[in-house]
Amino acid sequence: MLVGIGTYILLPAFLVVRDAVLWWVINRYILTGQAQLNVRRYVELAHEWNTEHAGKTRIVSDEHGSKHFINDNEVTPEVFNRHFSRSDEIREDLRKLKIDLDRRAKFLKWMLKHYQQESIDPINEWKKDEEKRLRNKS
């Protein structure tokens, strides 16, 4: 009789409470509003990097000096340096955001696997949604 109560009533009740606490922790500390903002910022920076900075600059030198180009348009060295500085800022921000998002995603994946929950990946879903939003916006 006691074994039946433990098996059919107490254990399922404990598992329901455990799962509720697990999802509370996930929503409170992993899938936060800040995480969503970080995803949005990451996707926007990646879009800016890919459309305005990646492979868009070059310097041509000859006996008369050097010429600076952005998107095959000649620019002054000051404009070129500002563009290059912005590229460095974007690259650094992308690196920091990627580290944060990857850490959250790995911890979430571990928690869900450890506690035998349905495997979900909301961070990558958020990224896809943001990429779709940016494509529709352009």
pLDDT on residue 62:
86
pLDDT on residue 50:
92
Tokens of 18: 């455990």
Which residue in 6, 44, 59 sits closest to 138, CA to CA? 44
Q: Collapse the DSSP code of 67 into the 3-class scheme (helix H, G, I; strand E, B; otherwise coil) and give the result.
A: strand
pLDDT on residue 63:
86
Residues constituting the chain? 138
pLDDT on residue 2:
74
Measure the CA–CA gap between 39 and 130, rounded to whole angstroms.
8
Measure the CA–CA gap between 48 and 116, rounded to whole angstroms.
39
Instruction: Write out residues in the chain with pLDDT < 50, as ranges.
Output: none
Q: What is the pTM of this model?
A: 0.84
